[in-house]
Amino acid sequence: MAAEIVNPRSDSSTDQEGAEPLDSFDPAFALHRGGKMAVQATVPVRDKDDLSLAYTPGVARVCTAIAEQPDLVNDYTWKSSVVAVVTDGTAVLGLGDIGPQASLPVMEGKAILFKQFGGVDAVPIALDCTGVDEIVETVVRLAPSFGGVNLEDISAPRCFEIEKQLQERLDIPVFHDDQHGTAVVTLAALRNAARLSRREIGQLRAVISGAGAAGVAIAKMLVEAGIGDVAVADRKGVVSADREDLTSVKRELAGFTNKAGITGSLEDALAGADVFIGVSGGTVPEEAVASMAEGAFVFAMANPNPEVHPDVAHKYAAVVATGRSDFPNQINNVLAFPGIFAGALQVRATRITEGMKIAAAEALAAVVGDDLAADYVIPSPFDERVAPAVTAAVAAAARAEGVARR
């Protein structure tokens, strides 16, 4: 049995004057009391000799060396092994715009998942600003302390521009996990579903419900991976070049998707489709699922309520996946982001390329071997093979694409 984890800062006496503490009846509050993280030293300071090395005067020699040779910061500080987890609290889980302070428990959670599953240290940073320029400038100024930046829970369409500008201005990996982590795990599950049904991904026509951060990134990744065709639908129907109400992001999306020229509603697009990928919430009518091709794949990933309940999807689909842990085939970002950053940091990559993301997806898919089955097309986050496989694949891809610095 694992040893009990004790939070030295916890104190469950009262939350307010005489009020019964929330954690007396809710275990989630009990776990969160005092926060889920702390800073721990990696070297001892036992006596004055240790103190003189860890701090002044010894530290001055290290500072001088870094000033003369800046790359040494990666060897003699935490920079090359630590990720900033940055949010403005505008698109937190299914809660929406709840602000920076209310988002902090999620960012702490993200940071401990980095450590637990990838061995990567991470620092939650909740920003009290929402303007694109203000966020970009703030992160640029914080960047000297970090080896990478994970953007989290920033609402669309601002998230696209923030990531783009930061990638252009920084020489460390910048990765919006709500986009790319979801896309990597989705592609891995789709590759295995296709393998199970003895089809190539190039033979498949997919329909994505949702043209936000995740939907756009999934579409891009599927096209990059060679999908036969993919159409994306938003609240107003299929994103197509003939629509006059498209944002700049959706106009770009229309330019590389929907080769078949489908118009109309999501339900219209699903007729005869091989794959449904839901990242938008809402409900898809059963008759629309029934209209899909025989042996279809349904990835209904909205939380807590999938767009298509698995009981309904199983009537018509060969493979069903959701975003929930209480159903088989959970599409969970934690399968991707720890290993992706671990691999990128290992080689001190300047960025995370499309090739690195596809390598991550292929490595994740390959973890599922001969035990591949309709209810097992994606491994569990607790499968100890996942992070090492993704880490190695991402590091190798970074070297192959010339973005590695070691």
Catalytic residues: 55, 110
> Are 286 and 310 contacting, i.e. CB atoms less than 8 angstroms apart?
no
CA distances from residue 33 to 18, 21, 30, 94, 313 in whole angstroms, order as listed: 17, 10, 5, 22, 39
Q: Nearest-CA neighbor of 284 among 239, 317, 243, 328?
A: 317
Nearest to 337 by CA among 225, 220, 176, 188: 176
Which are the contacts of 400, defined by CB distance < 8 A and separation ≥ 6?
A: 355
Close Cβ partners of 52 (under 8 Å, ≥ 6 residues apart): 58
- For 110, the token pair is 């993200």
CA 210 to chain centre: 16
Tokens linked to 209: 């419900």
CA angle, residues 281, 89, 86, in degrees to nearest 5: 115
State the Cα–Cα distance between residues 93 and 178, nearest whole angstrom: 10
* 234 phi/psi in degrees, rounded to 5: -110, -165
DSSP for 299-328?
Answer: EE--SSS-SS-HHHHTTTEEEEEES-TTSS
Our CA angle for 226, 343, 42, nearest 5°, is 160
CA distance 132 to 313: 40
